[in-house]
């Protein structure tokens, strides 16, 4: 094979594998973007002084095993970032349900 042709084929191959790599990152980036939008929405919905409480809740939730979160929820306590540890009053919490589904 001629040298230039060979060089061209090599570059083409490299570009294709790079493209494949970039494409494989796409779902990951999309999920990050969704998460980002969700977090922004949540933090916008909160008054400034509650943000710290939510962050503290998040840290607490991370330290609790999933089974225990499920049990806590079944016993009638919030396991979501917004109201962690507080009794659920209205029967169900969409945030808790969403959180447990995602885990």
Member of 61, 69, 73, 78 binding Zn ion (CB under 5 A): 78
Q: Report d(CA 55, CA 37) in Å as an integer.
A: 17
Q: Which residues contact 1 (CB under 8 A, 6 or more apart)?
A: 9
Number of residues that bind Zn ion (CB under 5 A): 6
- Closest to Zn ion by CB, 14 vs 71, is 71
Q: Report d(CA 22, CA 8) in Å as an integer.
A: 21
Q: Which two tokens stand for residue 76?
A: 């009638």
Q: What mask of x and - would describe binding to Zn ion in positions 27 to 66, judged by CB under 5 A?
A: ----------------------------------------
80 in contact with Zn ion (CB under 5 A): yes
As measured in angstroms, the least distance from the Cβ of 81 to Zn ion is 8
Looking at the DSSP bridge assignments, the partners of residue 87 are 77
């Amino acid at each position: 094979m001629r040298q230039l042709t060979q060089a061209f084929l090599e570059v083409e191959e490299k570009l294709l594998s790079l493209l494949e790599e970039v494409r494989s990152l796409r779902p990951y980036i999309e999920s990050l973007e969704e998460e980002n939008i969700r977090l922004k929405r949540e933090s916008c919905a909160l008054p400034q002084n509650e943000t710290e409480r939510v962050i503290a809740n998040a840290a607490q939730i991370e330290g609790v095993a999933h089974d225990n979160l499920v049990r806590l929820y079944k016993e009638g306590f919030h396991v979501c970032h917004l109201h962690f540890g507080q009794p659920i009053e209205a029967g169900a919490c969409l945030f808790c349900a969403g959180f447990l589904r995602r885990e």
